[in-house]
Amino acid sequence: MGKGISSDAFSYLMFGFSATFGKDVTEQHWVSIFQNLSAEDITWRAPWIRPSFLLYNSLRDSLYQLPMDWHNWNSPFWVKNPFSEEMSPELEMAKHEFEREKAKLLRDISSFQEENYQLKIDVQIEKSRTEKVQKEAEITRKELSDLYLENKKLRSTIRNSGLGKSSAEWKEEISNIKGGMEFWKAEVKKEEEKAAQLRGKMRDVENVLQAHQQHLDDLLRALEEKSGQHDRDI
């Protein structure tokens, strides 16, 4: 217990209570009440009184303290942390549902990322095959062009000289050249068809990759929206 309340400090306290309890209560009665106040009395009789406000108004013009222990006065007024309370069953269920949906979305995203990675590898493989076939087709076309030039030179030689070989020999050589040209024509056609097939396959793989990427983007967007909604609900 500290010293008693001075008359000046007491007047500030009495001013706030006079309207409620009337002016017929004597000063001695108020002094007796305040001297016998305990923490339990403050808790249930005046829970709306802030200790800082009461102390300020009662002590700003006085050097005396209220006749009570400050720790006991202040302890009933600690504010309980609302987040320390247990969540309601509805909120708990919503949280678990969100966690399940989030886990499923993350699994789907991981699966699509693996598929996209494999598809990108397939695209690179098909591109390499297509480039190889295109190079082979270019080489075949060059060889065919060389055969055309050789045949042209040979015919010119036959017309100009006609010497060194019989007609049968020249015909056989020309036939061989023509046969080679037909062979290389077939090879060029085969390589071009193969290249066309590979280009078509590569386009199909790229389309599948694009579709998977779009689905992956949708899943990521859905996960972001659910996370935002969950944060707003919390």
Determine the pLDDT at residue 233.
Answer: 59
Domains and CATH numbers, the chain: 7-77 (no CATH), 88-233 (1.10.287)
Backbone angles phi, psi at 62, to 5 degrees: -140, 150
Determine the pLDDT at residue 68.
Answer: 45
Determine the pLDDT at residue 231.
Answer: 62
Determine the pLDDT at residue 82.
Answer: 44
Determine the pLDDT at residue 61.
Answer: 45
Determine the pLDDT at residue 190.
Answer: 79
Determine the pLDDT at residue 93.
Answer: 79
Which parts of the chain sit beneath pLDDT 70? 1-27, 29-31, 33-87, 151, 154-167, 169-170, 174, 226-234
Q: Please state whether the predicted TM-score (pTM) of the whole model is above 0.75.
A: no
